[in-house]
Structure 1
């Protein structure tokens, strides 16, 4: 997967959609407006660029003050990020919040998946049941799920990983792939009898990891088994 190329495409799609969106429209699964979303994602882009340029962690706010219209802010922020990534040495060390990857390459992958999830958020303002972005291929979505476990679970404290109370299997319907999560949030090679299963396309599973698609059509994301296991997975303060 060429994360830089995929990021350029997903961020361009966000820019195109944002240009025609109502800045005051609410999002489906996040308590923000479209304007808030543009401020947040543009701010994340600029923060990531500073992590690369300065090499250390700069201060960050979730929703920064907009210094221009949402589309202008986002367009400028996208240019800052892509220009920084284009000229950076992907092997050079810099600040990341991954325990296993301290290279600038980390930010290619992280900003790709940040953008894919927020592209769905943007489209949810017009349609709470919007499908997963077509811009995210099965390969990209599967890597997004892997990244969730690599980075957000792998770098989290024990307190942020409540015991699930059983084994959870995430089953992709469009790929010969599943993820089996033990009660302690450790990925297992397999488990014949999970306590609960979430079944969906890879793209919908990626969004489900971030508690999106709550208004998905019946059957898009299927939950079976112990509801408590699934609820604890969704409520874990990892996101």
Structure 2
């Protein structure tokens, strides 16, 4: 997926998130993030949107912590979220392709990184908002889901911060059943950071599989794994240890 498509996802998913949050109300519990109410979700995501945009607009080349969460609630909090979301979309749309700023995962460019990262950030939290509201969730496209799985496995969990580790070397296969045949991944687990490769490059001890959108959300711990074969303890290990630390 290219930058423009990722920016389109940021735009669409942010609007869906705001709509679901408004319908749910600020007091609604977020079942996919048990410690949160909808107000916490809006404050967090709105802060992240502003944090991401600032790296681009201010040409920040070093890591900085996100800003303070606002002491807002109700309609004022929704307005604040929508304002930050609109600023992020505008920033990603108008920034020069060769803008130099800090990024924390491999990418063709910093702008490509931030567009992709915020597309996934906003989509996952849109799912959270819709879970709080209840009802039929909005779909996640196959192409985007596959791209998001790539970011998670080959990006986030390739870092030293990943806690998905095994004292005994094991192999986890991830397979999207509704995507092209090459969209499977082999994740080598050991005492070090996971090493993920595209394709079925080694025999697997466990395979998690399903439609790309459900698999994407399961890997982000928003849904159960659609199907698990082999040693189920590896799927359980993922659920227990795969929480993301931003940096």
Determine if the TM-score, normalized by the shorter chain, exceeds 0.5. yes
1:209 to 219, 222, 228: 219
Residues 172-218 of structure 1 deviation map (CA, whole Å, 9 limit, x = unaligned)? 1222332221224222431464111112211111111111124xxxx
2:195 to 175, 186, 191: 186
Decide whether the 8 Å contact of 2:177 with 2:211 is kept in 1.
yes
Identify which range, 228-237 or 165-174, moves more after superposition: 228-237
1:236 corresponds in structure 2 to 241
1:167 corresponds in structure 2 to 171
1:58 equivalent to 2:64? Answer yes
Residues 110-152 of structure 1 deviation map (CA, whole Å, 9 limit, x = unaligned)? 100111111111111133xx66631x21000100000112321
**Structure 2 Cα separation of the partners of residues 159 and 42 of structure 1:** 25
1:153 corresponds in structure 2 to 157
1:84 corresponds in structure 2 to 91
1:44 corresponds in structure 2 to 48
Partner-residue secondary structure (3-state), 2:209:
strand
Shift of 1:104: 2.0
Residues 155-175 of structure 1 deviation map (CA, whole Å, 9 limit, x = unaligned)? x21763413742111121222
Partner-residue secondary structure (3-state), 1:167:
strand
Normalising by structure 2, we get a TM-score of 0.83
User: Which stretches in structure 2 are left out of the alignment for 5+ residues?
Assistant: none
Decide whether the 8 Å contact of 2:21 with 2:133 is kept in 1.
no
Decide whether the 8 Å contact of 2:107 with 2:113 is kept in 1.
no
1:222 corresponds in structure 2 to 227
Decide whether the 8 Å contact of 1:175 with 1:202 is kept in 2.
yes
2:141 to 137, 149, 153: 137
| Aligned-CA RMSD value | 2.3
Partner-residue secondary structure (3-state), 1:224:
strand
Decide whether the 8 Å contact of 2:186 with 2:202 is kept in 1.
no
Decide whether the 8 Å contact of 1:29 with 1:212 is kept in 2.
yes
1:70 equivalent to 2:73? Answer no
1:16 to 2, 15, 19: 19
1:34 to 38, 43, 48: 38
**Structure 1 Cα separation of the partners of residues 51 and 87 of structure 2:** 10
Shift of 1:39: 0.6
1:109 corresponds in structure 2 to 116
Partner-residue secondary structure (3-state), 2:189:
coil
Shift of 1:70: 2.7
Decide whether the 8 Å contact of 1:132 with 1:203 is kept in 2.
no
Aligned pairs, how many?
Answer: 229
Alignment CA distance shift 1:109-1:212 (3 Å)? same
User: Which stretches in structure 1 are left out of the alignment for 5+ residues?
Assistant: 215-219
Shift of 1:9: 1.4
